[in-house]
Chain A
Amino acid sequence: MNVVVCVKQVPDPNSAGQLDPSTKTLKREGVEVVLDPGDEYGIEAGLQLAEAHGGQVTVVSMGPEKALDAIRKALAMGAAKGVLISDPSLAGADALTTAKVLAAAIKREDWQLVITATESTDGYTGTVPQMIAELLGVPAVTFAKHIESDGTKLNVNRQTEAGYDVVEADLPAVMSVTAGVFEPRYPSLKGIMAAKSKPVDRLTVADLGLDSPSAGQTITNVQPAEERKAGEVVEDDGTGAQRIVDYLASLKVI
């Protein structure tokens, strides 16, 4: 089973991201960027399925030059090949544009399964996996929290508001995986060394035969959100628990 895993490089979720007020796109300078932590689960899922059923994992990413680091991390974990689509016209691309670019890049590969996270940590529209599935004309098995496969089908528990759906899907398919679905492996030193010589295809929008993107939406305003006022902070001197109980009582929730 050949698997394509879509990954994204994002500002470190532990640092504060910002939109540039003039360009209204993500400020990338001076911000630490990392492989989206959510993507590590998809890479792990892809590696396990490819290992169990034969085949290899290709990672596909859209992003600036620097996103090569994110691809290298996936290669170090064990993916065989990378594809990076970089194009100045894609700065600030919306979800639909992103999906069109990724789907066009995926079509160039030999694949039976496309794996994504459920959403990116920075943009988090959370609709790109379904868009890719529609563009590729295959099922979108989304929000997978438990995955089994015999190599021709997927058997997935799909997260729902009420619990989960037990879904059986024929391949080829797109699957989005929730955090924690598998424990991602750490890249070994050998893996990190090997990653340096693994192939990475570099593509532009023109290479994919796509028109320049048109968004259909425009950011009109960016402003700081109203700050919440801080209240009272006390050191626990043994009465902390009682303070909380008194506070809950004053709010009449107990």
Chain B
Amino acid sequence: MAGKIWVLTEVLEGNVVPVGLELLTKARTLGGTVEALLFSPEADKVVGTLGEYGATTVYAASDPAYNEVLLGGPAADAIAELVAEHKPDLILIGATYTGRDIAGRLSVKLDAPVIANGVDVSANGDISVQTAIFGATQVVDTKFDGGKPGIAVVRAKSFAAEPGGGGAPTVVPITTPVAEQHRKARVKDRVVAKSEGPTLEDAPVVISGGRGLQDPKNFELLHQVAELVGGAVGASRAVVDAGWVPYAMQVGQTGKTVKPTVYIACGISGAMQHTVGMKGSKNIVAINKDGEAPIFKLADLGVVGDVLKILPQLIDALKARKG
């Protein structure tokens, strides 16, 4: 039984970011009261959804001033004030960019511990967070010692999001103003990178490339496959570090977690840094010229061969199939 659980929720283009709904769904199973925190000018559009997924109360800040600065500072200020008044036991935060900004600052303000990279949460007596380390070869349970709210930063896709049939929540406006010091970092523009096709997190097929592609321009082959199968393109840290593709495409420990129906690893050896982000995929295909590559230990179908030969053949075969 976890007492009072708060879930930080974010809104993107009018919709609740999925990890928020995943965390609300999980929070419902922990026993106790589930409440949501929301900082968005579009708050009124989504409170109904938050209720459906289990929030009985939503603390909402719709002051656009929050949107003019980086949210981490003022959101942590506001949450810290609410914590002093309402004393939650656990604060669940999705491992988004802004979620991490808020969690770090809040941890300092409350002098309370944060456990990051959670993949599961339990509340049998103590509140405990499970994390996967070293490429998910080891699983660690860490409990909060109590006395202060525990802050858990949980990876997206750790839980399925399912509505619980809850009604409209009570909405409590957050009135904490944005402190002057936070205006020292101003958001001048928010650029939405329009990408064709589904996102890495939502795509049924993810095709990722690593060093074995030999040249950044060969990522074009992956984009062609992705387009043919309605998938998205990811990358290993090695090629992100090498500057071939942007950080946003990185799958792995320090990147995104994906759990598509099929994950196709092309020229990726399968370093643990990478596998932690993809080993939860339902099916895994690997193409690599080194038959000893660790990626083959995870693959449901492994093809030992030259990825630069196989990918063009794969594109032709997929095109032929489409007719």
Which A residues have a C-beta under 8 Å from some C-beta of B?
13-14, 16-19, 37-38, 94-96, 99, 118-119, 121, 124-131, 133-135, 137-143, 145, 157-170, 173, 178-180, 183, 215-225, 228, 230-236, 240-245, 247-249, 251, 253-254
Contact A138 B314 (CB under 8 A): no
Given A130-B100, A160-B97, also A236-B305 (CB < 8 A)? yes
Q: For the complex, count residues of B whose C-beta is within 8 A of A.
A: 107
Complex contact A124–B254 (CB within 8 A): yes
**Chain B residues closer than 8 Å to A14, beta-carbon distance:** 271
Complex Cα spacing A126 to B114, Å: 10
CB closest chain-A residue, reference B239: A180
Q: In the bound complex, how far is the Cα of B243 from the Cα of A119, in angstroms?
A: 18
List, in ascending order, chain A residues with CB within 8 A of B117's CB: 124-126
What are 12 pairs between A and B in contact, CB < 8 Å? A16-B137, A118-B254, A134-B104, A143-B247, A218-B142, A221-B140, A230-B297, A230-B302, A233-B302, A244-B264, A244-B310, A245-B321
B112–A178 touching, CB < 8 Å: no
Chain B residues whose C-beta falls within 8 Å of the C-beta of A126 in the assembled complex: 95, 100, 116-117, 153, 254
Interface segment out of the listed B26-34, B40-48, B52-60, B185-193: B185-193
Given the known inter-chain contacts A16-B272, A142-B97, A180-B246, please indicate yes or no for A125 contacting B314, CB distance below 8 A: no
Residues of chain B with a CB closer than 8 A to A164's CB? 191, 193
Q: Are A165 and B187 in contact (CB under 8 A)?
A: yes
Q: Which of A14, A37, A138, A240 has the most CB of B within 10 A?
A: A240
How far, in Å, is A109 (CB) from chain B's closest CB? Answer: 20
Select B305's contact among A157, A167, A168, A235, beta carbons within 8 Å. A235
Q: Enumerate chain B residues within 8 angstroms of A162, measured Cβ to Cβ.
A: 12-13, 190, 192-193
The 5 closest A-B pairs by CB, nearest first: A236-B305, A130-B104, A241-B313, A127-B104, A216-B113
- Tell me the complex Cα distance, A164–B70, Å: 12
Q: A14-B271, A163-B192 are in contact. Are A19 and B138 (CB under 8 A)?
A: yes
Q: Is the CB of A145 within 8 A of B103?
A: no
A236 touches B139 (CB 8 A): no
Q: How far is A19 from B96 in the complex, measured between Cα atoms in Å?
A: 26
Assess whether B162 is interfacial by the CB under 8 Å rule: no
Measured in the bound complex, the distance between the Cα atoms of B284 and A87 in whole Å is 44
Q: Which residues of B contact A (CB under 8 A)?
A: 12-13, 17, 70, 72-73, 76, 95-98, 100-105, 107-109, 111-117, 126, 128, 132-145, 147-148, 150, 153, 181-182, 184-193, 204-205, 228-230, 237, 240-243, 246-248, 250, 253-254, 261-262, 264, 271-273, 279, 283-285, 287, 291, 296-306, 309-311, 313-314, 316-318, 321
Complex contacts, B141 vs chain A, CB 8 Å = 219-222
Q: With A169-B184, A228-B298 in contact, is A140–B95 under 8 Å at CB?
A: no
Given the contacts A130-B100, A165-B189, A244-B264, A217 and B291 also touching, CB distance less than 8 Å? no
Q: Are B112 and A216 in contact (CB under 8 A)?
A: yes
Give the residues in chain B near A118, CB-CB below 8 Å: 254
Q: From B186, which residue of chain A is reached at the shortest CB distance? A: A168
Give complex CA distance A178, B235 in Å. Answer: 15
